[in-house]
Amino acid sequence: MALGPNGVANLQTTLSTSSSGNAEMPIPTPHHPITCASELRLEEDGTFACEHAEVPPGDIRTQQCLDHTIALLLIELSQSL
Protein backbone atom coordinates (compact mmCIF):
# COMPACT_ATOMS: atom_id res chain seq x y z
CA MET A 1 0.00 0.00 0.00
CA ALA A 2 1.36 3.40 -0.96
CA LEU A 3 1.33 6.14 1.65
CA GLY A 4 0.86 9.82 0.91
CA PRO A 5 3.00 12.62 2.37
CA ASN A 6 0.77 12.83 5.46
CA GLY A 7 1.16 9.10 6.19
CA VAL A 8 -2.38 8.25 5.05
CA ALA A 9 -2.95 5.53 2.46
CA ASN A 10 -2.90 6.94 -1.07
CA LEU A 11 -5.47 4.78 -2.88
CA GLN A 12 -4.84 6.27 -6.33
CA THR A 13 -1.11 5.47 -6.18
CA THR A 14 -1.85 2.01 -4.81
CA LEU A 15 -4.32 1.34 -7.63
CA SER A 16 -1.92 2.68 -10.23
CA THR A 17 0.83 0.39 -8.96
CA SER A 18 -1.43 -2.64 -8.76
CA SER A 19 -2.61 -2.22 -12.35
CA SER A 20 0.81 -1.52 -13.87
CA GLY A 21 1.07 -4.96 -15.47
CA ASN A 22 4.00 -7.38 -15.81
CA ALA A 23 5.85 -9.33 -18.51
CA GLU A 24 2.74 -11.38 -19.40
CA MET A 25 0.42 -8.36 -19.21
CA PRO A 26 2.19 -5.29 -20.58
CA ILE A 27 1.03 -1.83 -19.58
CA PRO A 28 -1.73 -0.65 -21.93
CA THR A 29 -0.99 2.46 -23.94
CA PRO A 30 -1.58 5.23 -23.06
CA HIS A 31 -2.80 3.94 -19.69
CA HIS A 32 -5.38 1.79 -17.95
CA PRO A 33 -8.70 3.62 -17.36
CA ILE A 34 -8.71 2.84 -13.65
CA THR A 35 -5.55 4.90 -13.16
CA CYS A 36 -6.99 7.90 -15.02
CA ALA A 37 -8.12 11.02 -13.18
CA SER A 38 -10.94 11.62 -15.69
CA GLU A 39 -14.48 10.27 -15.37
CA LEU A 40 -14.74 6.47 -15.52
CA ARG A 41 -17.53 4.65 -17.38
CA LEU A 42 -18.82 1.10 -17.29
CA GLU A 43 -20.51 0.58 -20.64
CA GLU A 44 -23.57 -1.67 -21.09
CA ASP A 45 -21.41 -4.28 -22.84
CA GLY A 46 -19.08 -4.48 -19.81
CA THR A 47 -16.33 -2.33 -21.32
CA PHE A 48 -14.57 -0.18 -18.71
CA ALA A 49 -13.44 3.17 -20.13
CA CYS A 50 -12.21 6.70 -19.55
CA GLU A 51 -11.89 9.43 -22.16
CA HIS A 52 -8.39 8.16 -23.10
CA ALA A 53 -8.60 4.36 -23.09
CA GLU A 54 -10.87 1.35 -22.69
CA VAL A 55 -10.53 -2.28 -21.67
CA PRO A 56 -12.80 -5.16 -22.68
CA PRO A 57 -15.10 -7.02 -20.29
CA GLY A 58 -13.23 -9.56 -18.16
CA ASP A 59 -9.87 -7.76 -18.34
CA ILE A 60 -7.72 -9.36 -15.61
CA ARG A 61 -5.97 -6.07 -14.66
CA THR A 62 -9.30 -4.39 -14.08
CA GLN A 63 -10.58 -7.28 -11.96
CA GLN A 64 -7.39 -7.39 -9.89
CA CYS A 65 -7.51 -3.65 -9.34
CA LEU A 66 -11.17 -3.72 -8.28
CA ASP A 67 -10.48 -6.68 -5.97
CA HIS A 68 -7.57 -4.76 -4.46
CA THR A 69 -9.76 -1.68 -3.98
CA ILE A 70 -12.43 -3.68 -2.17
CA ALA A 71 -9.77 -5.26 0.05
CA LEU A 72 -8.38 -1.82 0.94
CA LEU A 73 -11.85 -0.51 1.73
CA LEU A 74 -12.57 -3.52 3.96
CA ILE A 75 -9.29 -2.93 5.80
CA GLU A 76 -10.21 0.72 6.31
CA LEU A 77 -13.70 -0.18 7.54
CA SER A 78 -12.41 -2.87 9.90
CA GLN A 79 -10.13 -0.35 11.61
CA SER A 80 -13.13 1.71 12.64
CA LEU A 81 -14.94 -1.21 14.33
Quickly list H helices, the chain.
11-18, 60-79
Q: For the chain, what is the domain count?
A: 1
Residue 20 lies in a domain: yes
pLDDT of residue 28: 46
The model's confidence at residue 4, banded by pLDDT at 50, 70 and 90, is low
In a domain, 3, yes or no: no
Per-residue pLDDT tens over the stretch 6-57: 776 666 666 666 555 554 555 445 577 887 778 889 999 999 998 888 899 9
Read out DSSP for 33-56? GGG-SS--EE-TTS-EE-SS-EE-
Q: Is residue 4 part of a domain?
A: no
Please give the Cα distance from 44 to 51 (Å, whole number). 16
pTM (2 d.p.): 0.53
- Is the residue at 75 inside a domain? yes
